[in-house]
């Protein structure tokens, strides 16, 4: 077994057992929440799906009409009011991590470790007066 110094160890070679509790400064948790939220917003894509109709000889027809084919319905596509939201792969990864961070934050609120934003502003003003 080698006796490496801490600076010789690659942190990427290490992990945590599931039951190990770790601590971090609140500002790191808040920054993680902000960053993941920004990524989610950037990777959210809103679309209005193309509407289609069956046509034959330039006229809209029933689906069962012989020789009918699907064609874009530009008017229906433009007129629709219900958008569909999709997330990119990166957006879904960020969303999953964001939810984990929010869960940690909620537990900290319940445990009394977090303070209100108003209290944080008061503390900030008092420390700048000193």
Burial class (CB within 10 angstroms; exposed 0-12, middle 13-18, buried 19+) of 105? middle
Q: What is the DSSP letter of 8?
A: G
How is 34-56 classified by DSSP, letter by letter?
Answer: HHHHHHHHHTEEEE-PPPEEEEE
Per cent of the chain over pLDDT 70 is 94
Q: Please say whether the beta carbons of 71 and 55 come within 8 A.
A: yes
| pLDDT of amino acid 127 | 73
Q: Is the pLDDT of residue 1 over 70?
A: no
Instruction: Please report which confidence band the pLDDT of residue 123 belongs to, taking 50, 70 and 90 as the band edges.
Output: confident
Query: Is the whole model's pTM more than 0.75, yes or no?
Result: no
Q: Write out the two tokens for 36.
A: 């993941």
Q: Which residues pair with 53 in a beta bridge?
A: 71
- Over residues 50-105, the pLDDT tens digits come to 999 999 999 999 999 999 999 999 999 999 888 999 999 999 999 999 999 999 99
* Arithmetic mean of pLDDT over the chain: 91
């Amino acid at each position: 077994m080698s006796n490496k110094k801490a600076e010789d160890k690659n942190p990427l070679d290490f992990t945590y057992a599931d039951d190990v509790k770790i601590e971090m400064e609140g500002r790191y948790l808040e920054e993680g929440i902000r960053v993941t939220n920004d990524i989610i917003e950037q990777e959210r894509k809103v679309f209005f799906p193309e509407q289609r109709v069956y046509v034959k000889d330039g006229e809209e027809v029933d689906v069962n009409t012989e020789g009918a084919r699907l064609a874009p319905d530009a008017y229906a596509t433009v007129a629709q009011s219900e958008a569909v939201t999709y997330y990119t792969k990166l957006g879904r990864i960020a969303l999953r991590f964001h939810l984990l961070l929010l869960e940690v934050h909620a537990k900290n609120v319940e445990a009394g470790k977090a303070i209100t934003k108003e209290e944080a502003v008061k503390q900030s003003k008092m420390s700048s007066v000193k």
